[in-house]
């Protein structure tokens, strides 16, 4: 019989899979959704962009807040939220609400999964969760394309439902519902506000820079804002008593190497898994 820790890790893998799946599953279906809704692709793309922007800007501060308040409660809230939102995605605001839940569950799943095993086994758990993250992003276009072809683009909005049902049952059965006292825990509210502003401005530049013009006043203003708030964030983290991101981490070469590898892999993954499906469906299919 499976150990309880193994079952918990499996539920956390489902959470990470769902978070990353929604970043790529809609890409290949956008042309079909555009035709079905008779709307401009530039307007429709915001359904995906708003998820990416808010997920990127809220993951660190909401992850920290969930850590302080109780990971289990936060995870339960997110799965319930995801269940409801998966069934009313026709609303214009669903990606924004869903991204807030994803920004909680992604770091929460990592933390719960890692803390569910002994220190000697944590390397394997981190590797398993990381593989699930990459697998979800890689399978997103394939799953989206298959569902669109056989069940229509509306079927994409129901993919989450069975997985969330399994995760809900697993969380109820195997997660601890005790609420440990964290004592007097301080939240780095200033750092949270600065990192949210930095990531939001930078993500908007990267997502809409081509549409708005890389030398336009809006894009340049966002770029300057991102740079200034990043500098202010680094300064604040060096002077607050409970920093959100301890700068001492960057003294570790292994940490720096892992962070750099993560960023580079993400850049190349976006080029392969987001741009290529769009090219094949929008350009290549017309030739």
CA–CA dist 41, 283 (Å, integer): 14
pLDDT at 275 (0 to 100) = 65
Is 99 inside any structural domain? Answer: yes
pLDDT at 178 (0 to 100) = 62
pLDDT at 217 (0 to 100) = 93
pLDDT at 26 over 90: no
- The model's confidence at residue 85, banded by pLDDT at 50, 70 and 90, is low
Is 228 inside any structural domain? Answer: no
Domain extent at residue 22: 1-185
CA–CA dist 266, 255 (Å, integer): 16
Tell me the percentage of the chain whose pLDDT exceeds 90.
8
Is 211 inside any structural domain? Answer: no
- The model's confidence at residue 177, banded by pLDDT at 50, 70 and 90, is low
Please give the residue that has the higher pLDDT: either 225 or 65: 225
pLDDT at 227 (0 to 100) = 95
CA–CA dist 64, 74 (Å, integer): 11
pLDDT at 126 over 70: yes
Our count of domains for the chain comes to 1
Residue 173 tokens, joined: 């059965």
Task: For residue 26, give the CATH number of its domain.
Answer: 1.20.1250.20
Is 222 inside any structural domain? Answer: no
Please give the residue that has the higher pLDDT: either 263 or 275: 263
Is 284 inside any structural domain? Answer: no
Measuring CA to CA, which residue among 171, 160, 140, 146 is closest to residue 87? 160
Is 197 inside any structural domain? Answer: no
Is 192 inside any structural domain? Answer: no
Q: Which residues contact 234 (CB under 8 A, 6 or more apart)?
A: 247
Is 77 inside any structural domain? Answer: yes
Please give the residue that has the higher pLDDT: either 165 or 276: 165
Give the pTM.
0.75
Token pair 């939001």 is found at 200
pLDDT at 277 over 80: no
CB 75 within 8 Å of CB 112: yes
């Amino acid at each position: 019989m499976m150990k309880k820790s193994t079952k918990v890790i499996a539920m956390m893998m489902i959470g990470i899979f769902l978070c990353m799946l929604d970043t790529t599953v809609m890409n290949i279906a956008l042309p079909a959704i555009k035709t079905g809704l008779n709307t401009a692709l530039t307007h429709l793309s915001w359904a995906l962009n708003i998820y990416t922007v808010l997920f990127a800007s809220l993951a660190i501060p909401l992850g920290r807040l969930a850590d302080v308040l109780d990971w289990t409660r936060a995870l339960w809230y997110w799965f319930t939220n995801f269940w409801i939102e998966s069934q009313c995605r026709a609303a214009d605001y669903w990606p924004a609400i869903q991204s807030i839940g994803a920004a909680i569950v992604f770091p929460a799943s990592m933390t719960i999964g890692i803390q569910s095993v002994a220190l000697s086994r944590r390397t394997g758990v981190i590797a398993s969760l990381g593989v699930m993250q990459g697998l979800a992003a890689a399978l997103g276009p394939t799953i989206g394309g298959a569902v669109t072809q056989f069940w229509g683009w509306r079927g994409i909005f129901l993919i989450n439902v069975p997985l969330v049902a399994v995760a809900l049952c697993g969380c109820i059965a195997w997660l601890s519902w005790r609420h440990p006292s964290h004592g007097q825990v301080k939240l780095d509210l200033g750092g949270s506000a600065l990192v949210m502003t930095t990531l939001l401005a930078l993500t908007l530049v990267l997502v809409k820079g081509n549409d708005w013009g890389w030398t336009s006043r809006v894009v340049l203003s966002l770029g300057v804002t991102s740079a200034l708030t990043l500098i202010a964030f680094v300064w604040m983290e060096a002077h607050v008593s409970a920093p959100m991101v301890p700068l001492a981490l960057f003294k570790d070469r292994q940490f720096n190497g892992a962070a750099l590898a993560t960023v580079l892999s993400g850049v190349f993954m976006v080029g392969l898994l987001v741009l290529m499906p769009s090219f094949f469906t929008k350009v290549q299919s017309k030739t």
